[in-house]
Amino acid sequence: MNPKKIVITGGPGTGKSSIINHLKQRGFLCYDEISRQVTLQARKDGIEQLFLTKPLLFSKKLLEGRKQQFIKASEETANTVFLDRGLPDVLAYMDFIGDDYPHHFVETCNDHKYDYVFILAPWQEIYTSDNERYENFEQAIEIHHHLLKTYMRFGYQLIDVPFESIEKRSDFVLEVLNL
């Protein structure tokens, strides 16, 4: 069995994790975003902001973690697996900061294709900063544009999630997927 792999993506503070958590509550199999885990582990290792101080190392860790999530999702017995962000997000963020990355980053994205990608646009009314999210709202908009460009570069048809409550946004995703 090869379950459908569904990405929920968007810039920081757009509600991705809230939708993922709501889908979990409704009984769907969901994989959490891993960047906070990578950031927190780096802090334990004495690096306050790994993405800012060593962006390529941070991105390599994210790419490998998301690749492992993709592989694990492919082996699940559920019909559908939702993922909080996908592999192309790594490249979009590297493009956002203007850093180069090895070609194998691109190859990894080409070799691991998702079935659907839902994207959430920046929404100022719900945007907040926290200890792991250092971008301001203007940067969130810029990141959104990089995400659009990067996912389209890999041939994805992005599905825009409307500005609504978490429940209605989750319903929208499920309706599009006929779930």
Domain harbouring 70, CATH code: 3.40.50.300
Judged against a pLDDT cut of 80, whether residue 126 lies above it is answered with no
Q: Per the structure, how many domains does the chain have?
A: 1
Residue 20: φ, ψ to 5°: -55, -45
E strand or H helix that includes residue 173? helix 166-176
DSSP 3-state assignment of 99?
Answer: coil
Question: For residue 48, what pLDDT is reported?
Answer: 75
| Structure confidence by residue, pLDDT tens digits, 9-68 | 998 889 999 999 999 999 999 999 998 788 888 888 887 777 777 888 889 989 999 999
CB atoms within 10 A of CB 34: 18
What's the predicted TM-score (pTM) here? 0.91
Structural domain contains residue 179 = no
- The domain of 158 spans 4-174
Q: In the numeric block, which tokens belong to residue 162?
A: 């409307």
Q: How many helices (H) does the chain have, and how many strands (E)? A: 8, 5
Share of the chain above pLDDT 70, in %: 96
Whether the CA torsion 15, 179, 154, 53 is positive or negative: it is positive
Question: For residue 131, what pLDDT is reported?
Answer: 53
